[in-house]
């Protein structure tokens, strides 16, 4: 069963490349005591994800933070090296923190897996965004397959 509004973000370990190389970060570290917007893309460097989804959150980062958001986190079931390269390519800077759910651990715990084998992608996560306060989901926006409407930065901004 998929996660719902009012549920706590499950404990999981995510990966990222930082100044000291490959590292891990727990969902507890990312969400505890903060208001966080988390968005997931089916794949870094894929068309909608690169042309619209990530750029929207970069462009709206200041507006989201002005509404009380402490952190904007972008996630994908990609390896952390791909996420780092994607962020560099997109000019993400400090606007969005990109993390890797390369093993789909959090994706599975959220119940938001997607079968991308027909496109050679394997297990991925559905496109979504959520807002969480101190680790509890206050808004959850899961896209219908192929859609890009409710997981946008603009939509999240309207929910704050």
Hey, which residues are catalytic here?
Answer: 49
- Three-state DSSP class for 122? coil
Cα separation values, 102 from 36, 61, 153, 155, Å: 21, 25, 23, 26
Task: Provide the β-strand partners of residue 76.
Answer: 100
C-alpha span between 11 and 102 (Å, rounded): 15
State the alpha helices, DSSP H only, in the chain: 27-31, 47-48, 54-59, 61-66, 80-90, 105-110, 153-159
Residue 127: DSSP 8-state: -
């Amino acid at each position: 069963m998929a996660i719902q509004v009012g549920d706590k973000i499950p404990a999981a370990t995510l990966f990222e490349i930082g100044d000291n190389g490959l590292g891990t970060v727990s969902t507890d570290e990312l969400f505890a005591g903060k208001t966080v917007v988390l968005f997931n893309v089916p794949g870094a460097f894929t068309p909608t994800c690169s042309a619209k989804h990530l750029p929207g959150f970069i462009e709206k980062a200041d507006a989201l933070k002005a509404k009380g958001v402490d952190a904007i986190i972008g996630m994908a079931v990609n390896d952390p090296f791909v996420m780092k390269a994607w962020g560099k390519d997109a000019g993400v800077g400090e606007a969005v923190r990109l993390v890797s759910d390369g093993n789909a651990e959090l994706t599975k715990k959220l119940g938001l897996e997607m079968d991308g084998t027909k496109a050679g992608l394997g297990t991925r996560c559905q496109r979504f965004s959520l807002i969480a306060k101190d680790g509890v989901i206050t808004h959850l926006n899961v896209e219908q397959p192929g859609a890009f409407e409710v997981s946008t930065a603009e939509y999240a901004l309207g929910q704050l």
